[in-house]
Structure 1
C-alpha cells in the first residue's frame, strides 16, 4: 500500500497515531488555525479530527486530494457531510468508542445534580460545613425518561435498572422488541414522557429535526421536581428557555455537558444559577474512550486504503459486509455494462433485487449500480459515496424495487433503463463467487462477466458466428467463451463473446459491416 499523507488536526490518543504511522506519513498538528488548514489541506488524502476542527465546505473545496475524513468520536456536526458526499469523500466516525464513557457521565451528572455534590464541595473548600443546605434526592424508585434509545441511551437504561428506576423511552426508530429486551416502556408521545419523568435524559444526534427539540413548551411540561440531563448535543435544548424555567424554579435543575456554543461563553446566564451542574463536554473524556475512538478511526482509514470493508462509514449509502460485497461488485459490473450498450439519453434506471436476495439484505444496491453506470462517463470522479447525488444532478431518476420472483437462479439483480428511444434490460447473479450475466433484453444467457466482452445483436443466420470469429482471429484477439441467446431460428439474436484482449475501433467497424449484424458493442468491465 502506498504511503499517503494523513493530517491529524485535533488531539488524538497515541495508540491511534501509532497505528496510522504504521501505514501513512502522519502530520500531527492539533490546534491548527483555520487559515493554515485551508493552506495545507490540499496535500493530504485523509484528515482526522475530533470536535475542535470545523471541516466546512470551504475546507472541503480546498481538499483536492482528500479521500476520507475520520471523526474520532460520534457526532459529525462539525463536518459538512453533504459537501463531502458531493465530492465523493468518505466520512467515518467511531460511534461505539465512547458509549460507556458517555453513559457513565450521564449517570454521574444525575447523581451530582440530585445530591448537589459539586455545590457541597465548593462550600467545603471555603471552609463551610453546611449539611442542611444539601438535602438531595435518591434515584431509587424514580422515573427516568430517555429521549433516544440508541447505543448510549440503552446503556444508561441498563445502569438505571440497578437503581430500581422505572424507565420510559421516546424513540420512533426503536422496535417494541428492543424496548422489551431492555425492560423499558416505549412511548410515541414525547409529552407523556416529559410529564411522567423525574429525570429527562437526552441521547439524540443534532439534526434539523432535533434542533431545539426541548424548548419552552417541553420544559414547562416537566414536573417542577424534575431534572434535565444532556450529554448529547447542545443544540437539542433551547438554552434561553432553559435559563428562564430554571431561574423561575419551574423545574428542579439541569445537568449539562454540552452547549449550543462551545466553549461556553463566559457571560452565558446558565453560569449564574445554583440549580445547575455544568461540565465542559467531558462525555467522552476517559482514557479508555480516547484510545478506542482513535483506534477505530485509524483502523477504518487503513481498511479504506487497502480496499477492505469500512465498518463505520457515515455517508456510504450501502451497508457493506462480506455477505453483501459480491452483490455490490455485481451491481457495479452490470451498471458498467449497461452504460456501454446505451444508444440514447437515459431517463430512469430501475434496479430490481430479486428472489432470496430481496429478503436477505436490508441495504440498497442502487449506489453500486449507479457508480458502475456513471463510471464509463465520469471515470474515477464517481464512487459509492457520490454516485446517487451525481445521478440526481444529471436528472437521471433512480428507482429500486424488491421482488421474490426470479428466473433460473435463486437470487438475481435486474436493471431496466428507460431512454428516449425505449428500454434496455440486463440481469445477473452471483454463483460460486462469480458474477454472471443472465439476460440481455429478452435473450437468456448464462455467462461469467469478464473484463472484455463483445456483444453483437444479429440475425440468426448460418456463418455469422464464424465470420465474427475470423475477424477477431485475424487480429490476434482470442475468444475465451461465447454464448448465443435467441428466441426463434433465423430471427433476431445476440451473441456475447468473452475475449482476452481489447478491441480496436477498426476491428469493431469490420464486424459492424458484416451482413446480418445489427449492432455491436465492445464492453470493458
Structure 2
C-alpha cells in the first residue's frame, strides 16, 4: 500500500523526507532524489554513528558494506525504505525490517551482465592460469611449460542456480562451445531449455560431471556451506570452481584442502565468507587468495561503470516511488504488484483504510466514549473479527494485500500513531496477528453492494455483543456492523452504514447522527451546532436500506442517519446537547 510522505494531513508544510546514503551512489541516481528530498551523503560511518542518527531519516540507501541490523531498524522510527544498490540483501535483517514496516528493495537486474561477464572472465583466467602466469612474469620468470592451460570448448559447465545471472552465464558459455548442465529446484524449465541448459535432478548429479562449477544463488540457510569437503570429494580432480555470487556457500577451509591435495584443479573466487577477508597464516581465506591455483578478486562482480550506474538509478527510482506513495519494482518483503493492477487498487486502498477508521470511530468508539450514545446504550465492544469482501472486478486481481493492510492501518491508526508504528503491506499481517485481529478476505465476482459500479468493498465487523445498541444499530441492537463502499472517478464513497443506505465521501470531520425520520430534525441539529459555532458544509440523509426493511422505533417512527460534514471536531458537551427527544438518538464525530 502507499507509504505516505511526511506531508501534514491538514495541508500545512512540513520538512521534506530525509534520505541517508552512507555508501557511494552515482550522481545520476542522486539527481533523481535531490529535487524532492533532503539527501545526506555520509560515508565512513561506524555502526554506532549510523545508529545514532538513523532516527532522523525516512530512507536509507546502501551497498554491501553497511549492516542493517535489528537494533538499527528498531532505532529508525521514521524509516520507510531500505534500498540495497545490488542484488544481495544478506547485509539487511529483512525479518526485522518487516516487523518494523520497512520496505526492503534491491536491484536484481542492474548488474546481471556485469556478474555474468566476471564469471566468464574468472573461468578463462583459471583455465589458462592467468593469475599465476602474471605473477610469474612480473617476478622475472618465463615458465611457459609449467603454465599450460586448458580450453573451455567442449567442457561441461555446471551451474547451481539458473536465475537471470545463471542463464546469462549459460548463454555466454554456449557461445564458447561449452555444454551446460544445471541444478535449481525452482528453475523455469522453459527458459532453461531456451538457453540450452540441461536441468539435472540434484546437486550430486551435476558435481560429478562438472569440468567447471559456478554458483549463482542467494546466500540463505539452504545454500550456506553447500559446497564442503564431501561435495568436493565427488568432483573430478581436473574440475575448477567459480564463485561470483556470495561468500559462505563454499567451505573455504575444505576448498583450500582440496586444492593443496590436488583433488581440485583450480578456483576463481570473487566473494568471501568475511569481507574483507581476514589476513594471517591461520586464515583459510587469506591462504586461498595466495594459492597459485586460485584467481581471486575483491568482490568485483558488479563493479563496472555500467552496473554501478544501473543499480544506483534503479534503487533511487524505487526510493522516490515509495516516499511519494507509489510502489517499488523489486520489494524483497512485499508482493510485486503490476502497474495496471496498482492503478485499480490505489483508490480502493484509500477507501478501505477510511472504512477501518470509520468503524473504529463510529461503531467501536461507543464502547468507551461517554455522552455519544442514547441513554442506556452501552455500545458494542471493539471487534477483532472482520470480514472484508471484494465484489465485482476487484475480486479478480492477483493480490489484495494492500487492501488487507489498509484495513489494519485504518483500524489501528489512533493506536499506532501514538506508538510510532508504521502499518503497511509489509508488516500488516504481523501487526494484525500481534493485536489479535482476524480478517477473513472474500472474493465475490458477481454482484456488488454499489449497484452500477464494477467493484465494491464490504466490511463486516462481528462484535459478539448481541443486544447492545451501538451507533447505527437498531433498537434491538446487533452483533454485526456493516460498512460498504465503492469508488467513482477515483473518489471513495461509503454506500452503507449497517442498516442505512447512503452515499458520502469519507473525508474530513463528519458528524453522524441517528434520529427519527420526522420533520424538523435537520433544523434542530443545525441550530444547536450554530450556537456552538460549528459550521456545516454539507449534509447527507441516509434512510434504512430497502432490502432490510424499516424498523419502527418509538411511537412507530422510522429512523434515518444524518451525515454532516463540519468544519472542525466538536466537544463532548455539544454532542450531549444534540441528544434529546426532539433532537437525535445517537451522535458520533468521525475524523478521516
**TM-score computed with the length of structure 2 as normaliser:** 0.77
**Structure 1 stretch displaced more, 47-56 or 447-456:** 447-456
CA contact (8 A) 2:502 2:541 kept: no
Unmatched runs of 5 consecutive residues or more in structure 2: 1-13, 365-379, 466-478, 530-534, 554-558
CA contact (8 A) 1:6 1:45 kept: yes
Closer, same or farther in 2 for the Cα pair 1:253/1:423, shift >3 Å?
Answer: farther
Indicate the SS of the match to 2:207: helix
Q: Name 2:256's counterpart in structure 1.
A: 243
Q: Name 1:338's counterpart in structure 2.
A: 359
**Structure 1 stretch displaced more, 161-170 or 227-236:** 161-170
Cα displacement string for residues 453-508 of structure 1 (whole angstroms, at most 9, x for unaligned residues): 455567xx6418x5256414642324343433421133587646362534523444
Closer, same or farther in 2 for the Cα pair 1:165/1:82, shift >3 Å?
Answer: same
Cα displacement string for residues 353-400 of structure 1 (whole angstroms, at most 9, x for unaligned residues): 444333333362322221222113322633314433322322323444
Taking only aligned residues, the RMSD between alpha carbons, in angstroms, comes to 3.4
Q: Does 1:383 align with 2:423?
A: yes
**Structure 1 stretch displaced more, 381-390 or 509-518:** 509-518
Cα displacement string for residues 403-439 of structure 1 (whole angstroms, at most 9, x for unaligned residues): 5444244433343444453444434333432223344
**Structure 1 stretch displaced more, 446-455 or 340-349:** 446-455
Closer, same or farther in 2 for the Cα pair 1:518/1:462, shift >3 Å?
Answer: closer
1:211-222 equivalences in 2 (<5 Å) = 211-222=224-235
Which is bigger in relative contact order (C-alpha 8 A, separation at least 6)? 2
Q: Name 1:435's counterpart in structure 2.
A: 492
Distance 2:144 2:397 in 1: 62
CA contact (8 A) 2:244 2:269 kept: yes
Q: Name 1:426's counterpart in structure 2.
A: 483
Q: Name 1:121's counterpart in structure 2.
A: 134
Closer, same or farther in 2 for the Cα pair 1:410/1:303, shift >3 Å?
Answer: closer
Distance 1:418 1:196 in 2: 62
- List 4+ stretches of structure 1 deviating above 6 A: 515-518
Q: Name 1:523's counterpart in structure 2.
A: 590
TM-aligned CA deviation for residue 308 of structure 1: 3.8
Distance 1:481 1:386 in 2: 36
CA contact (8 A) 1:54 1:79 kept: yes
Indicate the SS of the match to 2:220: coil
Closer, same or farther in 2 for the Cα pair 1:9/1:478, shift >3 Å?
Answer: closer
Q: Name 1:59's counterpart in structure 2.
A: 72
Q: Name 1:362's counterpart in structure 2.
A: 399
CA contact (8 A) 1:354 1:402 kept: yes
Distance 2:124 2:505 in 1: 64
Q: Does 1:298 align with 2:338?
A: no
Indicate the SS of the match to 1:234: coil
Q: Does 1:393 align with 2:454?
A: no
Distance 1:513 1:151 in 2: 70
Distance 1:169 1:473 in 2: 79
**Structure 1 stretch displaced more, 163-172 or 515-524:** 515-524
CA contact (8 A) 1:347 1:419 kept: yes
Aligned partner (choices 229, 246, 250) of residue 233 of structure 1: 246
Distance 1:522 1:225 in 2: 79
Q: Name 2:176's counterpart in structure 1.
A: 163
CA contact (8 A) 1:225 1:251 kept: yes
Q: Does 1:288 align with 2:306?
A: yes
Distance 2:170 2:574 in 1: 69
TM-aligned CA deviation for residue 517 of structure 1: 6.7
TM-aligned CA deviation for residue 122 of structure 1: 2.0
Unmatched runs of 5 consecutive residues or more in structure 1: none
Indicate the SS of the match to 2:146: helix
CA contact (8 A) 2:524 2:583 kept: no
Q: Name 1:412's counterpart in structure 2.
A: 456
- Based on CA coordinates, which of the two structures has the bigger radius of gyration? 2
Distance 1:78 1:283 in 2: 17
**Structure 1 stretch displaced more, 401-410 or 96-105:** 401-410
Indicate the SS of the match to 2:459: strand
CA contact (8 A) 1:309 1:320 kept: no
Q: Does 1:497 align with 2:569?
A: no
Distance 1:295 1:406 in 2: 44
1:303-318 equivalences in 2 (<5 Å) = 303-316=321-334
TM-aligned CA deviation for residue 261 of structure 1: 0.7
Closer, same or farther in 2 for the Cα pair 1:103/1:501, shift >3 Å?
Answer: same
Closer, same or farther in 2 for the Cα pair 1:74/1:198, shift >3 Å?
Answer: same
CA contact (8 A) 2:125 2:131 kept: yes
Aligned partner (choices 538, 548, 551) of residue 479 of structure 1: 538
**TM-score computed with the length of structure 1 as normaliser:** 0.86
Q: How many residues align?
A: 522
**Structure 1 stretch displaced more, 93-102 or 411-420:** 411-420
